[in-house]
Chains A and B, each alone.
Chain A
Amino acid sequence: DTGVSQDPRHKITKRGQNVTFRCDPISEHNRLYWYRQTLGQGPEFLTYFQNEAQLEKSRLLSDRFSAERPKGSFSTLEIQRTEQGDSAMYLCASSLNAPAGARSNSPLHFGNGTRLTVT
Chain B
Amino acid sequence: LAKTTQPISMDSYEGQEVNITCSHNNIATNDYITWYQQFPSQGPRFIIQGYKTKVTNEVASLFIPADRKSSTLSLPRVSLSDTAVYYCLVGDRTGGFKTIFGAGTRLFVKA
Chain A residues at the B interface, C-beta cutoff of 8 Å? 4, 31, 33, 40-45, 48, 56, 58, 91-93, 95, 97-98, 105-113, 115
CB nearest to B32 among chain A residues: A105
Given contacts A41-B103, A111-B43, A112-B43, contact A105 B97 (CB under 8 A): no
> Quick check: A33 and B97 within 8 Å, CB to CB?
yes
Q: Given A107-B46, A112-B41: A45 and B97 within 8 A (CB)?
A: yes
Task: Say whether A42 contacts B43, CB under 8 Å.
Answer: no
B63 at the interface (CB under 8 A from A): no
Residue among A4, A41, A56 making CB contact with B43, cutoff 8 Å: A4
Q: Which residue of B lies closest to A92 (CB)?
A: B43
How far is it, in angstroms, between the C-alpha of A111 and the C-alpha of B38 when the chains are bound?
A: 11
Tell me which of A42, A98, A113 contacts B101 (CB under 8 A): A42
Interchain CB contact under 8 A, A95 and B43? no
Contacts of A40 in B (CB 8 A): 103
How many residues does chain B have at the interface if contact means C-beta atoms less than 8 Å apart?
23
Confirm or deny: B93 has a beta carbon within 8 angstroms of a beta carbon on chain A: yes
Chain B residues positioned under 8 Å from A97 (CB to CB) = 94
Smallest CB-CB A-B distances: 7 pairs: A42-B101, A110-B43, A107-B95, A107-B46, A105-B93, A45-B98, A95-B94
Interface contact A109-B101, CB-CB below 8 Å: no
- Bound together, the chains give a CA A41 to CA B94 distance in angstroms of 21
Q: Check if A108 sits within 8 Å of B95, measured CB to CB.
A: yes
Residues of A within 8 A of B45 (CB): 110
Of B36, B42, B87, which one neighbours A112 at CB under 8 angstroms?
B42
